[in-house]
Chains A and B, each alone.
Chain A
Amino acid sequence: MNMELALQTFFDESRELLTDMERILLQLESFPGDAELRNALFRCVHTVKGSAGIFGFQHVVSFTHVVENVLDRLRTEEIHLSQLLADLLLRCRDHISLLVDIADPEDAVRLASASQRLLTELGPFHSVTPPQTPQAVVADSHQQHQWRLSVQIAADALRFGMDPLGFIGYLSRLGQLQVTTSSQAVPCLAELEPESCYLSFELALTTDASEALIKEAFELGNDLYQVQLECVQSAQLAKLSAGPPNDSSPELLARTIDKDAGQAHRRKPPAQHFRVQADKLDRLINLVGELVIASASVSLNAGHSGDAVSRESAANLNLLVEDIRNSSLELRMVAIGETFQRFQRVVRDLSAEIGKDIQLDITGAETELDKTVVEKIGDPLMHLVRNACDHGIELPAVRQQKGKLAQGLVQLNAYHESGAIVIEVNDDGNGLNRQKILAKAKEKHLLTGDGHLSDSEVFNLIFEPGFSTVEQVTNLSGRGVGMDVVKRNIEALRGSVELISPGTLGGTTFRIRLPLTLAIIDGFLARVGDATYVVPLDLVVECTELPKALCNADVVSTSHYINLRDEVLPIILLREHFMQPGTSGRRQNIIVVRHGAHKVGLVVDELLGEQQTVIKPLSGIFSHVKGLSGSTILGSGQVSLILDVPALLQQVSQREDSLDRSNNRHVRAPLAAC
């Protein structure tokens, strides 16, 4: 057994279990009566403890054991989940996760005092029973039993990572334990295999623990241990030490733990998931990317050859490659719910900390997006959620004055929209104060001039570095770092963020738009002069010819909009925007793209049709270039640039105010002398 691998699995599993534990705890707060949840909670901790035991992480086991006891009592409804206990258990969960992460028992010393503190707090919940049943305690402590265990261990046990010391340690914590080791089976040195286990044990245990609790010691290795368990009265204790067990004893509860039953109990439903290393998946997707390029080249060549048969095969190949691409990208798709779930805890803790009552509503948790995107969206979302709680939602008293419910509402919502995922963070708080932001912006010299600004322009000021309208800096937010980072992080994912106030719930709404994947997209190819550009196909609404009357460059450059079926359509002349040399051809086309609520026409020379494109990042040299999000390789081997439509639109609309058109536009500034 590869320990390294097993250990990794332990870490992964524990992390998952602890995440589950948090989720269940939070659910349980809302549905305290749900027995299934209580059992699940117990199982989480129990499994973590068990696996930690296998690896001999005593520091984890000893702490988890107490938590487990408490949860066991919760499960059997001896105690109830109060707010206090829930808080405590959540903190215990965090502590367990810390303990698991350090793994090295020697480092655990650092956490010992924290462990001790939590254990002391847990004390009332496990050692003393709640006041309403004081008699039970007394009765319990009197019901000490003598247990006799005889344990036979399979020779293979050590090879499977079962250390007999594990269960001995466990049992010794339950009560008084006497161990007699039988070494009769140990062969002579020449025949001894150091990896085999030859020992068997006779144990005498005095404890108030139940039979089930004792059996748990052997649950993890239940096919390796043969356990006989019997209950003996104190009087018989003398007999026990004297000779072999008396099988005819009436108190005999001896039962070999039923192997089959045990296994059936532990057998999980048929595996629906299996773990794959992320880098293997990444490699597969890279390869699929290359495959896409290769197949594009095949269809290109087939098209040139004019041979109908090879054209057909190429078309078939293309279809298959598209399927492969989609299914392999799906492998990396995960539901956003897991990320959202984290915020339940954040909001809960936060609201307690700042004295507000806030509920977090999650919708669209099943919306899927690429794992790489999910990993990077957590931090920006965290900022927004904290902001919503701290700045957005008012204090309960203030809310009641305004005639709102005392309980504030923060909503996380996700849905798909034209090839992108939209994540909304809504709150029903007080929204943004336009005047306050404007004043602050002037104070910080972010604004020059008194030009009239639209609401959205004003609100977007809060994404400027160092901007905060809160007079008091709290330890949560308000330092003015953050929103610019949020924006930068989202833009780095080829996404965008906008702010709407008043939002859907009356307060503020942040709307984040992200691409579903960062690897491969469907692209629409267009030619401008010598260059070929790719527009993400999801954004393309339609293509149409630029009306002949407008093809004359002068006409278009005076008015940058056209009439599209009685709708005003602003247009961007790509050739002009990118300052490409040469003049446009006689016939030009418009690609109508949509980004959010905006619709814009991109004027290009020629439409080349759609193609799957593999996104290749552009080198660092181009990191400051706006309007391009990356590059891709065409079937011909040529590199083509992918248009970053949102950035392009932003650039153009920012410029709109100062559209003083002079015709002395130089092509490429003479900067080379620098």
Chain B
Amino acid sequence: MKQSKRNDVVVMQTEQANEQQYLTFQLGQEMFAVGILHIREIIEYGNLTTVPLMPDFVSGVINLRGSVVPVIDLSIRFSRGQSQLSRRTCIVILEVDSAVSCAADSGSEVSALQEVGIIVDAVSEVLEIAPKDIEPAPTFGTRLRAEFIAGMGKVDGAFVILLNVQKALNVEEMAKLASVVEPLEQSHYG
């Protein structure tokens, strides 16, 4: 018992240290940041398979060492137009908590860590941003849904947008968006 408590404390301390670390990346002209605890790995862009009948922001799926991972074009998701592919474009694999009501379990909620890839224009660096350097998100002005933003981090006098990964890449919401595509498409027939 005691042992495990002590371990918990150690874990918490390292987690705190990690919580202050962010990976910054570029999307168009803007800088965004994601807490490094969410990040699984960063890979080169390529070998994407398109999934039909999906909204544009779902770029497709990739093979990540044997598991099939969906890839989101963050730029489209944030209404900033399609990402322009360049030499520095890469896919950041994130881990997101997903609670999708799943037909296999008669509608029960299944909660699991899910891997999701996002396309970014360039990855910059891992920064440490102290909590005191994080400002709350402005209500408007970022051209982004307020709930996607966890805060604004001050780095060298400029702001980077700290993303709320859980909200911005909410699997359930994206699945719902994906399901709306079909009725629309059917309406063209009828």
Taking a contact as CB atoms closer than 8 A, the residue among B52, B70, B106 that contacts A579 in the complex is B52
CB distance from B94 to the nearest CB of A (A): 12
Known: A620-B102, A624-B175. A669 touches B61 (CB 8 A): no
B47-70: which have CB < 8 Å to A? 47, 49-58, 60-63, 66-70
Q: Which 3 A-B pairs have the closest CB atoms?
A: A624-B179, A578-B52, A492-B104
A548 at the interface (CB under 8 A from B): no
Inter-chain CA distance A626–B179, complex, in Å, is 9
In the complex, besides A621-B54, A623-B175, A672-B56, 7 extra interface pairs with C-beta distance below 8 angstroms are A616-B67, A619-B68, A638-B63, A641-B49, A661-B189, A668-B54, A669-B180
Q: How far is the CA of A90 from the CA of B178 in the complex (A)?
A: 51
Contact A621 B186 (CB under 8 A): no
Alpha-carbon distance A489/B178, docked complex (angstroms): 22
Of listed B79, B175, B180, residue having the most chain A CB within 10 A? B175
In the complex, what distance in Å separates the CA atom of A520 from the CA atom of B178? 27
Chain B hits for A658, CB < 8 A? 189-190
Whether B146 is near chain A, meaning CB under 8 Å from some CB there, is: no
B189 touches which one: A530, A628, A659, A668 (CB < 8 A)? A659
Q: Is B87 an interface residue (CB 8 A)?
A: no
Q: Answer whether A672 and B51 are a contact pair too, CB < 8 Å, given A492-B103, A622-B178, A623-B103.
A: no
Contact call B177/A639, Cβ cutoff below 8 A: no
A619 and B106 in contact, given A640-B49, A655-B186, A668-B181 (Cβ under 8 angstroms): no
Cβ contact within 8 Å between A660 and B54: no
Q: Kindly list chain B residues whose C-beta atoms are within 8 Å of the C-beta of A666.
A: 188
Chain A proximity of B137: nearest CB distance (Å): 20
Q: Give chain B interface residues in 101-125, CB to chain A under 8 Å.
A: 102-104, 106-107, 114-116
B-side residues, CB < 8 A to A, are 47, 49-58, 60-63, 66-70, 76-77, 79, 98, 100, 102-104, 106-107, 114-116, 171-172, 174-182, 184-186, 188-190
Query: A: which residues have CB within 8 A of B?
Result: 290, 293, 376, 485, 488-489, 491-493, 530-532, 578-580, 616-628, 631, 633, 637-641, 655, 658-662, 664-666, 668-674
Name B's interface SS.
mixed
Which A residues are in CB contact (< 8 Å) with B107? 488
A631 touching B175, Cβ below 8 Å:
no
Q: Report chain A residues within 8 Å CB of B77.
A: 672
Q: Which of B70, B79, B104, B180 interacts with A619 by CB under 8 Å?
A: B70
A640 CA / B63 CA spacing, docked (Å): 10
B186 and A669 form a contact (CB under 8 A): no
Q: Cβ of A530 and Cβ of B50 under 8 Å apart? A: yes
Q: List 25 A-B contacts (CB under 8 A).
A: A489-B106, A492-B102, A492-B103, A531-B50, A531-B52, A532-B49, A616-B66, A616-B68, A618-B68, A619-B69, A619-B70, A619-B114, A620-B102, A621-B54, A621-B174, A622-B175, A624-B178, A625-B179, A628-B52, A655-B189, A662-B188, A668-B56, A671-B55, A671-B181, A671-B184
